[in-house]
Amino acid sequence: MSINQLNVDSLFDSSLVAAQQPQWPADELASAVKELKSYPPLVFAGECDDLRSHIAQAAEGKAFWLQGGDCAETFASATADSIRDRIKTILQMAAILQYYSSMPVIKVGRMAGQFAKPRSSDSETRGEVTLPAYRGDAVNDLAFTPEARRPDPQRLVRVYNTSAATLNLVRAFTQGGFADLRKVHDWNKGFVKDNPYAARYEAMATEIGRALDFMKSAGVDPDAFKTVEFFSSHEALILEYEKALTRIDSRTGNPYDVSGHFIWIGERTRQLDGAHVEFASKVRNPIGVKLGPKSTVDDALRLIDKLDPNREPGRLTFITRMGAGKIREALPRLIDGVTKSGAKVLWVCDPMHGNTFESSTGYKTRQFEDVMDEVKGFFEVHKALGTHPGGVHIELTGDDVTECLGGGAKISAEDLASRYETACDPRLNHTQSLELAFLVAEMLRDR
């Protein structure tokens, strides 16, 4: 399959307002966009179609969606070790979910493109100095100097190159034997040993190993155990980047955003008459939209009309991020209204973004117990309505960071300072990610 690199600019209405865009220097932006347009796709349109069919299965209640990774990827953290540990963490979580629920798990990284962030304020002030806010490595640098905070369009080219290198390693790991289910034990190697979930994981891995040996002894040793499908995803925030990587698929003549398999629109950029929704409406990738606690049924229905007018299974995923205290009240009416419209969306719970607060010690953090309570509320609401709790969307890392409070390891407000490394929002560390997977797996099994 090949993808034509036609000029697709005419697809998009350039008069629409795009929220959350940096003030790019125009000439430099034009040359970065020109460069990006000349590059090959990062993903293939056919892979996006495969993912769309998997999502359709999940929307029918026959699969579970696991999406995880950094809030903000950085160029510095695109190292072999960091990428490997994030993939291993997601593979471990998927094994846990699949083992307990006997359901296929769709594995999706917030990875290989998640470099841009929406911000609540355009600027940041420290003492007497006010500078542009950090908008992710795609735009500027976290350091608080005028030079570092200047939006630099060449960073978009670096996003492409870093995403290409990341995806290359992801593909090598997931297709080259590393993700073989028979390696389920090995995925735990290199992580902290004295964590209670590691022991529980080892016990489960032993059981999986026994089942695989049993099948092998019976002459069954399918190739499906040897590789896994792993998809990339990011928020489609910087439209100049996403448009430059939109190409016409020569098989079908349809446009695809080939910067990632799945793209989503954030809570701050989902205006119905805005440029982000319009962009997503024009590309054939499976699309996600975040829905916060103030979302109305009307918002949801109008997004469906705009993004999924043909009610196509797998096309649209709603990622709800209500907050633990609000989900039980806010989610039922949304699900009810959408179900009545006849649309078949996938419902995914993001238990991170509605549960952020500042710790007594001054860090942006989340309480593990709130994260779990939102997931619990999500399962309760779907159970009551007879709909499928389709998946979870988690900010996590394979590293042993201290960014979220609580969990089995009881991270305290004082502990946050020891390894607080995120460039944006606090992530679950490896131990907390396994703990969450065990708890979600039990809910999925018992639903």
- Residue 3 main-chain phi, psi, to 5 deg: -120, 125
Residues between 283 and 342 with contacts to ligand PEP, criterion CB under 6 A? 290, 321
Residues between 336 and 395 with contacts to Mn ion, criterion CB under 5 A? none
Tally of CB atoms within 10 A around 223:
6
Taking CB under 6 A as the rule, does residue 209 contact ligand PEP? no
Per DSSP (E only), the strands in 204-322 are 230-235, 246-249, 255-257, 262-265, 287-291, 316-320
Pattern 156-195, binding to ligand PEP, x per CB under 6 A? ----------------------------------------
Q: Residue number with the shortest CB distance to ligand PEP? A: 266
Q: Where are the alpha helices (DSSP H) in 289-367?
A: 297-307, 327-341
Taking CB under 6 A as the rule, does residue 73 contact ligand PEP? no
User: Which partner, ligand PEP, Mn ion, none, binds residue 135 by CB below 5 to 8 Å per kind?
Assistant: none
Q: Name the packing angle between helices 430-446 and 368-385 (round to 10°).
A: 20
Taking CB under 5 A as the rule, does residue 425 contact Mn ion? yes
Q: Say how many residues touch Mn ion, by CB under 5 A.
A: 2
Distances (CA, A) of 110 to 98, 231, 240: 20, 9, 20
- Kindly tell me which of 195 and 397 has the beta carbon lying closer to ligand PEP: 397
Taking the complex as a whole, the smallest distance from the CB of residue 68 to Mn ion amounts, in Å, to 12
- Kindly tell me which of 248 and 291 has the beta carbon lying closer to ligand PEP: 291
Pairing state between β 391-395 and 364-366: unpaired
Length of the chain as a residue count:
447
Taking CB under 6 A as the rule, does residue 263 contact ligand PEP? no
Taking the complex as a whole, the smallest distance from the CB of residue 393 to Mn ion amounts, in Å, to 10
User: Which partner, ligand PEP, Mn ion, none, binds residue 267 by CB below 5 to 8 Å per kind?
Assistant: ligand PEP
Strand partners, 265: 289
- Of 9, 94, 19, the C-alpha closest to 271 is 19
- Kindly tell me which of 19 and 165 has the beta carbon lying closer to ligand PEP: 19
Q: Is the separation of the CB atoms in 59 and 76 below 8 Å?
A: no
Tally of CB atoms within 10 A around 46:
14
Taking CB under 6 A as the rule, does residue 276 contact ligand PEP? no
Contacts of 358 (CB under 8 A, 6+ apart): 364, 365
Of the candidate residues 41, 69, 255, 266, the single one contacting ligand PEP (CB under 6 A) = 266
- DSSP letters, 24-78, are --HHHHHHHHHHHHTSPPSS-HHHHHHHHHHHHHHHTTS-EEEEEE-SS--STT-
Range in contact with ligand PEP (rule: CB under 6 A) among 94-102, 166-174, 262-270, 406-414: 262-270
C-alpha–C-alpha distance, residues 201 and 191, integer Å:
12
Of the candidate residues 71, 334, 392, 401, the single one contacting ligand PEP (CB under 6 A) = 71
- Of 321, 417, 435, the C-alpha closest to 365 is 417
User: Which partner, ligand PEP, Mn ion, none, binds residue 290 by CB below 5 to 8 Å per kind?
Assistant: ligand PEP
Of the candidate residues 52, 84, 234, 353, the single one contacting ligand PEP (CB under 6 A) = 353
**Any idea which residue has 């307002």 for tokens?**
17
Taking CB under 6 A as the rule, does residue 234 contact ligand PEP? no
Structure tokens at 189: 């190697």
Burial of 268 (0-12, 13-18, 19+ CB in 10 A): middle
Taking CB under 5 A as the rule, does residue 71 contact Mn ion? yes
User: Which partner, Mn ion, ligand PEP, none, binds residue 86 by CB below 5 to 8 Å per kind?
Assistant: none
Three-class secondary structure of residue 409 per DSSP: coil
User: Which partner, ligand PEP, Mn ion, none, binds residue 321 by CB below 5 to 8 Å per kind?
Assistant: ligand PEP
Please work out, in degrees rounded to the nearest 5, the angle formed at the alpha carbon of residue 197 by the alpha carbons of 195 and 198: 70
Taking the complex as a whole, the smallest distance from the CB of residue 354 to ligand PEP amounts, in Å, to 8
Residues between 398 and 427 with contacts to ligand PEP, criterion CB under 6 A? 425
User: Which partner, ligand PEP, Mn ion, none, binds residue 49 by CB below 5 to 8 Å per kind?
Assistant: none
Residues between 116 and 135 with contacts to ligand PEP, criterion CB under 6 A? 118
- Kindly tell me which of 37 and 119 has the beta carbon lying closer to ligand PEP: 119
- Of 410, 328, 318, 434, the C-alpha closest to 375 is 328
Q: Which residues bind ligand PEP (CB under 6 A)?
A: 71, 118, 235, 266-268, 290, 321, 353, 425
Q: Which residues bind Mn ion (CB under 5 A)?
A: 71, 425
